Structure 1
Amino acid sequence: MIISAFTLALALAALLIEAFFSYPPKVYAAIGHPVGWIGALINRLDGWLNASRLSAETRKTGGIAAIAIVVVVAGGVSYMFADWAGHGIIGFALLACIISSLIAQRSLFDHVDDVARALQLEGLPVAREKVGKIVGRDVSELDEAGVARAAIESLAENFSDGVVAPTFWTVLFGLVGAATYKAINTADSMIGHKNEKYALFGRATALLDDIVNLPASRLSAIWIAIAAAITPGANWKAAKDAVLRDARRHRSPNAGWPEAAIAGALGYKLAGPRMYDGALVEDAYMGTGRSELNFADVKRALMLYRKACIVQVAFLAVVLILVW
């Protein structure tokens, strides 16, 4: 593990590149996206090692092998590229651009803002369609408040695992950390489910994803609480209280931290029972405020999210100055 001015600068540059430019559509059209490359590998491994004809024990072992292969490939390829790029100006720029593609800072804002706009201007069916792109639950029966809560919950959770976590692992291990983390997180989103198909095959992936997201989930709650202190209408003390009271009650060891922080800061009540894969999943509520939310409440959450992103950038900049 090397926390250096170089990796700090990489993380800071990647965040700024993603915030201002996101992932260029022309680049996507030409070569796709790194997450898509990882997803293609996972799909292949899923087909080979999780076939229905295989025994339960074989599928469980296959799941361990699958995530091991994903980690080795992502870590190995990124290590070779980072070694080739070196530490010069051009190499730094290349690495920062690649890492920026593994961070979902601006794209997360855009997706959640699309939901808010749909609720405000396009109606509930369109809003359900928009929110269905960023959540894994059943959205067909959600009312306006349900769509708003789902969007805010997704914003909170993805701030942790889509923004803070890749930044954290970049600071520790540069491109290798970011790429390996993103590979694990992508695998979890694809096969880390508790349904019949993936309960055994995805078990190791889900556990590993929980482990690598532990630091970022706690950090994300801190960034949100600090952001609440500089956001009009938000309450940093309520954010802190909600995290301490509710975060560990969430069914996920990580998602409850940013969800409770946002809920407390803005006076919302999030999470609770939800439909996943056709089944009702019981979960604790995060926060004790209002649950009847609308597009304006999503906009407030987005404002807090932007401030939290700024807090993270400011923190990295200060640490970089101190270690330069």
Structure 2
Amino acid sequence: MTGPHGLWIGFAAVLLALMIDQWIGEPPPRWHPVVWMGNYLGRAGRWLQAHVRPQGADWPSFWRGALAWWGGVLLVLVLAGALQWLLLQLPWGWAALLLGIALKPLLAWRMLTDEVAAVEAALGRSLEEGQQQLARIVSRDVTQLNEEQVRESAIESLSENLNDSVIAPLFWFALLGLPGAALFRYADTADSMWGYRGDYRGQVWEWAGKWAARIDDVLAWVPARITGLALLLSGMRPTRCSLQRLQQEAAQTPSPNSGWPMAAMAMVLDVRLRKPGVYTLHAAGQAAQAGHVPRAVQMTRVAVLGLLGLTILFAALAAFGWQGRAA
């Protein structure tokens, strides 16, 4: 989508997708493209696990995993590209509307904030209910977590998934259109299903999922830093010192990307976020309390709306630039 015409169609599609997300939420599973991606990855994953070696270097599994990943992504790109091409043949109003409807399932902003807010509501009833609600959005064992740790995990999941479920798909949509957003959601889904080290729920993904994990790191690298900076801007006036601190805090996590939004949220909320034996973000911060989860949800809204405002500004400047060259 190039030129001022395509630019405004794309921007209108983003606005419509976000509005549909807030008003309606997720489509039924049978019509959800991310569910379709997960179904393919589940079948391919069972094939991969049937040939995996439980110990030692397993290059055959690595190449099978890469091949299975590419098979799915080529299908995703072809379908998303063909759909976008067809929609762009329509009058611009219909193109923007239908492109926004197609983009919406590749975003999950409302579902993310609702699920995280529900953790705090469940904790208000009992620790066990809070743990059960948290288990819906994290893959770690939650049964041994106390109230503070449940809140920390909820805030971490909110921060990390703000990038994975909202900012990164929009970033790749801005660069590559609908195929770009679909590409990222496929890569993120593959990483969430295959990208584990060692034994995970009785399966070994160390080599079979290595390609999926690495390519997700690459695709999320820039958006994760944008998300971290947007969160930092949402709650404080950033200085050179705070930007340096954000980089230092983010580097504590083993992931090259997830530390950026998590560290930014910790700094903005002035709360300590920990994964025992792995990292402690903003160690001088206070313990996570009941009010921190709702504030974290609010900070994500400010961050997304701030980025949307900057996008409007850049889109307007680009459109004026094209008009100036045409004149």
User: Shared fold by TM > 0.5?
Assistant: yes
- Indicate how the Cα distance of structure 1 residues 66 and 296 shifts in structure 2: closer, same or farther if over 3 A, else same: same
Pick the aligned partner of 2:98 from 94, 97, 113. 94
Asked if 1:179 corresponds to 2:196, the answer is: no
Q: Secondary structure at the match of 1:292?
A: coil
Asked if 1:105 corresponds to 2:112, the answer is: no
> Which residue of 2 is the match for residue 28 of structure 1?
28
Asked if 1:43 corresponds to 2:42, the answer is: yes
CA displacement 1:247-285 (0-9 Å, x = unmatched): 122110000100110111111111332xxxxxxxx4222
Gaps of 5+ in 1: 230-234, 274-281
Pick the aligned partner of 2:166 from 163, 166, 170. 163
Q: Secondary structure at the match of 1:295?
A: coil
Asked if 1:322 corresponds to 2:317, the answer is: yes
CA offset at residue 226 of structure 1? Answer: 1.5
CA offset at residue 242 of structure 1? Answer: 3.6
Q: Secondary structure at the match of 2:130?
A: helix
Q: Secondary structure at the match of 2:207?
A: coil
Asked if 1:289 corresponds to 2:284, the answer is: yes
CA offset at residue 299 of structure 1? Answer: 1.4
CA displacement 1:138-192 (0-9 Å, x = unmatched): 1010000000000000011001111100010011111110111100100110111
> Which residue of 2 is the match for residue 63 of structure 1?
65
Q: How do 1:174-213 residues align onto structure 2 when only pairs under 5 Å count?
A: 174-196=177-199, 197-213=204-220
CA offset at residue 241 of structure 1? Answer: 5.0
Q: Is the 8 A contact 1:61 1:201 kept in 2?
A: yes
CA distance in 2, matches of 1:94, 1:173: 17
CA distance in 1, matches of 2:69, 2:242: 35
Q: Is the 8 A contact 1:119 1:144 kept in 2?
A: yes
**AA at the equivalent of 2:32:** H
CA offset at residue 53 of structure 1? Answer: 6.3
CA distance in 2, matches of 1:311, 1:16: 16
Q: Is the 8 A contact 1:11 1:171 kept in 2?
A: no
Deviates more, 1:296-305 or 1:260-269: 296-305
**AA at the equivalent of 1:272:** K
CA offset at residue 18 of structure 1? Answer: 1.6
Q: Is the 8 A contact 1:242 1:287 kept in 2?
A: no
CA displacement 1:288-312 (0-9 Å, x = unmatched): 2335313211112112112112112
- Indicate how the Cα distance of structure 1 residues 239 and 49 shifts in structure 2: closer, same or farther if over 3 A, else same: same
Q: Is the 8 A contact 1:239 1:263 kept in 2?
A: no
Q: Is the 8 A contact 1:164 1:220 kept in 2?
A: yes
**AA at the equivalent of 1:217:** A
Q: How do 1:69-88 residues align onto structure 2 when only pairs under 5 Å count?
A: 69-87=71-89, 88=91
- Indicate how the Cα distance of structure 1 residues 191 and 53 shifts in structure 2: closer, same or farther if over 3 A, else same: closer
> Which residue of 2 is the match for residue 277 of structure 1?
none
Q: Is the 8 A contact 1:239 1:261 kept in 2?
A: no
CA distance in 1, matches of 2:258, 2:274: 10
CA distance in 2, matches of 1:58, 1:244: 37
Q: Is the 8 A contact 1:70 1:184 kept in 2?
A: no
**AA at the equivalent of 1:119:** L
Percent of aligned positions that are identical: 28
Q: Is the 8 A contact 1:248 1:256 kept in 2?
A: yes
Asked if 1:228 corresponds to 2:235, the answer is: yes
CA distance in 2, matches of 1:162, 1:295: 25
CA offset at residue 100 of structure 1? Answer: 1.2
- Indicate how the Cα distance of structure 1 residues 51 and 172 shifts in structure 2: closer, same or farther if over 3 A, else same: same
Asked if 1:142 corresponds to 2:127, the answer is: no
Pick the aligned partner of 1:124 from 120, 127, 136. 127
Q: Secondary structure at the match of 2:184?
A: helix
Cα RMSD of the aligned pairs, angstroms, is: 2.1
How many residue pairs end up in the alignment? 306
Q: Is the 8 A contact 1:263 1:289 kept in 2?
A: no
